[in-house]
Amino acid sequence: MKVKTKNINDYTREINVDISWSEIESDFEISLRKFSKKVKMPGFRSGKIPRDRLLGQFQANIEAEFLDSNFQKYYLAAINQESLNPVNKAEVKDIQFHMNEDLSFLAVFEVEPDVKLPKLKKNTLSVQRTAYIHDDQDIEDAIMQLRKANASMSTVEDGAIEGDYLVCTLQKLDDSGVAIIGKKFEKQYLRVGNGSFTDSQKDKMIGLKPGGSTRLRLPVNQDGGDADYELTVDKVERELLPELNDEFVKQINPNLDSIDSLRLDVEKKIIENFKERSKTAYDRDLSDALIEKTNPPFAPSMVEYYLTNLIEDVKKQNSGEPLDDEKVREHYMPVAERNVKWYALRNKLIEHGSLEVSRDDLNAEIERLVGANTSSENEIRKFYKKPSNLKRLEDGLMEKIILEYLEQFAKVKEVEVQTKDLRGKENEY
């Protein structure tokens, strides 16, 4: 077998393959014998048709069957001979073959490009690490979230106030205000003053009682479209927060016995949450800094494969709601490209630093997980007996090892952020 490899670019390879008749003759004979057993010819038993009669009538068919049965074997032998590892299905063309002649073909495919790390030394990578400075309001907000999570609902008759829930019927109206048949939606829940309601919309809802109605303009899709609806109230439900006392504290956590102990526990969790947030951002900044400095090439087919799986996950998480595939692809394409680049660099860092996850590392991590979830010890141990689950655990540990290794080349800028400046912009807890 003669194979010539041509590098089209960083990730595309073209191979020209030529296989002599002597190398494939025995395979051809096998195909011929198999074909003779399934073809019927008057005057001859199956498998006993003279060779010249068989070839004279069916040579083209036998050649086609030979290629169908053996081509993949020859293709794999060619790429193995060249130590190539395609990441997509090859485009095969210019197949040339006839009995008693050499077989030749051309195949084009993508490979994982060879990535070269920059010279890594101290202060090569500029990154930022954030220290979050919390205040008492964070603690009070977190306690309020606990109270809301344990709130009860009560039906009220005195008219809705901000924060109440309207259990209502929504009748969609056309541009002239006439009800649209088939567009009546019962048992809908709307929170007064919540979401995208303007002040004027909110004012229309405040004071509504069971049986009351009003006209609202509500969104109908994510692109900003909206429509008029007639809202009729079935009932008004109000959230009743539990009183903040020692009894409530024990209900939340039997190990706590006072409001002060709750505040201390909440503050501890806030600190831990912000530390984890800071660590996640720092690790991401560290890997992004290497990606930016290196800007490694990537095979488009690898990005496409990653993106396809990512979109499928997004669809599953969207609970079957219809999505604009093109918009989803556009949104997640940078994510896919970034992660494929990091995958390539990650492998190079493992090689560069001779990094590995030992069996002791895996056992220690399993014991840590068991220690944190003692009631689920049997389930955890059983879970990680499955090779695929153990592999995911190994990958996670390797990620930590890689980032720890990379940290020695970082120039870190320490930044403080007051949590009060984040308040109202996002939900921290």
Percentage of the chain lying above the pLDDT 70 cut: 94
The residue-averaged pLDDT of 231-259 equals 94
Per-residue model confidence (pLDDT) at position 321? 61
Residue 195, pLDDT > 80, answer: no
Q: Domain boundaries in the chain? A: 2-110, 125-134+248-421, 152-240
CA pair distance 8, 14, nearest whole angstrom: 7
pLDDT in tens, 145-188: 999 999 999 999 999 999 899 999 999 999 899 999 999 999 99
Q: Could you identify the residue written with the tokens 């800007």? A: 295
Q: Looking at residue 313, what is its pLDDT?
A: 86
- For the CA atoms of 20, 24, 25, 28, the dihedral, rounded to the nearest 10 degrees, stands at -140
Residue 128's contacts (CB-CB under 8 Å, 6 or more residues apart) are 282, 285, 412, 413, 414, 415
- What is the fold of 152-240? Chitinase A; domain 3 (3.10.50)
pLDDT tens across 65-115, in order? 999 999 999 999 999 999 999 999 999 999 999 999 999 999 999 999 999
Between 44-48, 117-121, 282-286, 404-408, the lowest mean confidence (pLDDT) is in: 44-48
Least confident of 45-54, 66-75, 309-318: 45-54
Q: Residue 399 to residues 222, 284, 291, 335, 404: CA-CA distances in angstroms? A: 36, 11, 15, 18, 9
Enter the tokens of residue 302: 């690898």
Name which residue leads in pLDDT, 358 or 54. 358
Residue 162 φ/ψ, nearest 5 degrees: -60, 130
> Quick check: 65 and 30 in contact, CB under 8 A?
no
Q: What is the pLDDT of residue 196?
A: 56
**Fold annotation for 2-110:** Alpha-Beta Plaits (3.30.70)
Query: What dihedral angle (degrees, nearest 10) is formed by the CA atoms of 15, 20, 21, 24?
Result: -60
Does the pLDDT value for residue 200 go beyond 90?
Answer: no
* Type of residue at 88: N
Say if CB 286 and CB 406 are below 8 A apart: yes
b/e per residue, 300-331, with b = 16+ CB within 10 A?
ebbbbebbeebbeeeeeeeeeeeeeeeebeee
Q: The domain at 125-134+248-421 falls in which architecture?
A: Orthogonal Bundle (1.10)
User: How confident is the model over 343-354, as pLDDT tens digits?
Assistant: 999 999 999 999
Asked if the domains at 2-110 and 125-134+248-421 fall in one CATH topology, the answer is no
Query: Mean pLDDT, to the nearest integer, of 338-344?
Result: 95
- The overall average pLDDT reported for the chain is 92
**Position 319 pLDDT exceeds 70:** no
